[in-house]
Structure 1
Amino acid sequence: MKHSFEVKLAAVNHYLAGHAGIISTAKLFQLSHTSLSHWINLFLLHGPRALDCRHRRSYSPEDKLCVVLYALGHSESLPRVAARFNIPSHNTVKNWIKGYRKSGNEAFIRRRKEKSMTRSDDTHENEANMTPEEMKNELRYLRAENAYLKAMQEHLLEKKRQELEKKRKSSGA
């Protein structure tokens, strides 16, 4: 069931004001507590505009791949991953993961009536023979790969920072 922006915002504000817990607030507004929890995460991460889903969003192949690789590389729940990337439904992320597991990166690059691009180790020889559409697909793939590597680097640096902080606190305490 779709809920208006006003209902979402009122429920989130009611909860954040401390009037009631998630389950009580959800009952009061006749919502599922999982939806309310997701909206709270969206609101806290991206502000009130994240609750307004009046228009359909489209995501680039790079965005989809980045979200999927983040979801697979982290121990966060799908609703939390969806909230982190401001995606209205965790089912969208779930479907992207299914597609990725079935077809790999091609799941996001392939378009209707478009042949999938086969990747070769000898890319320099093939570059001269590539059509503009194949070059665009290659560029999308490389951008997605770059986004993934940046996300993984950020994750590893954060993990290392947390480990160092933990060691520092335990040795200084």
Structure 2
Amino acid sequence: MTRTHSEAFKLKMVKLYLEGGASFNRISREFNVDRSLVRRWVTRYRHHGLKGLEPATKHHYSPSFKLHVVKCVTRDGLTDRQAEARFNLRSTGLIGKWLVQYHSGQLTKPLSETKRAAPMAKKSVDLPPADAPERSLSQDELIEELLYLRAENAYLKKLDALIQKEKAAARSKKRKRSKG
């Protein structure tokens, strides 16, 4: 069950922290509130004042706003938490969804063409083939490609490490059997 906290309560926690009287951990223990919540309230308050502490409401963001957030995240290298605080979003999960929409091309289409994606639909990133003739790419396209290649590289490294670990375990198992 989720609890909602009043603006006055949130403001009290923020003031305790900002006045230097208590750490996130102390406030969290003393008032039985998750540490990350207190940190989130402080960050929102720093960025937006009292408006950042208002209760969450259902909000529909325009495709142009989503595109602006995604471009800021990729251009400035913001974490989801930083972007959530900067743009006063109510969930870090929104940014991941918007990145998927951006990579699938949904955020660049006019509003009338965008359709809600099926839940848990797999999205693929369409990159130009490696042997395609060189063309000048925009900075956003280069950043997008770089992020994709970094993720692919990290995935392959982890896969290779897993394979090596399994091979080592199999060799070790083989040795134990041959000794016994």
Give the shorter-chain TM-score range. 0.5 to 0.7
Amino acid at match of 2:59: R
Deviation at 1:3, TM superposition (A): 2.5
Please tell me whether the aligned partners of residues 67 and 85 of structure 1 are also in contact (alpha carbons under 8 angstroms): yes
- State whether structure 2 residue 26 is matched by structure 1 residue 46: no
Determine which structure has the larger helix proportion and give its number: 1
Summarize deviations over 1:70-105 as a string: whole Å, max 9, x none: 111222221111110111221222221232223452
Alignment partners' CA distance in 2, 1:89 and 1:108 = 25
From the CA coordinates, give the structure whose radius of gyration is larger.
2
Alignment partners' CA distance in 1, 2:84 and 2:8 = 21
Please tell me whether the aligned partners of residues 53 and 88 of structure 1 are also in contact (alpha carbons under 8 angstroms): no
Q: What does 1:5-154 correspond to in 2, within 5 Å?
A: 5-106=7-108, 109=111, 110-111=114-115
Q: Name the count of aligned residue pairs.
A: 114
Q: Runs of 4 or more off by more than 6 Å in structure 1?
A: none
Amino acid at match of 1:76: L
- State whether structure 2 residue 7 is matched by structure 1 residue 3: no
- Name stretches of at least 5 consecutive residues in structure 2 with no aligned partner: 117-139, 141-180
The structure showing larger relative contact order (alpha-carbon pairs under 8 Å, at least 6 residues apart) is 1
Summarize deviations over 1:30-83 as a string: whole Å, max 9, x none: 222222212111101110121112532221111111001111122222111111
Distance 1:75 1:91, change over 3 A: same
Amino acid at match of 1:33: R
Distance 1:2 1:104, change over 3 A: same
Alignment partners' CA distance in 1, 2:24 and 2:31 = 11
Q: Which moved more, 1:50-59 or 1:75-84?
A: 50-59
Distance 1:108 1:87, change over 3 A: farther
Distance 1:11 1:74, change over 3 A: same
- Name stretches of at least 5 consecutive residues in structure 1 with no aligned partner: 113-147, 149-173
% identical equivalent positions: 24
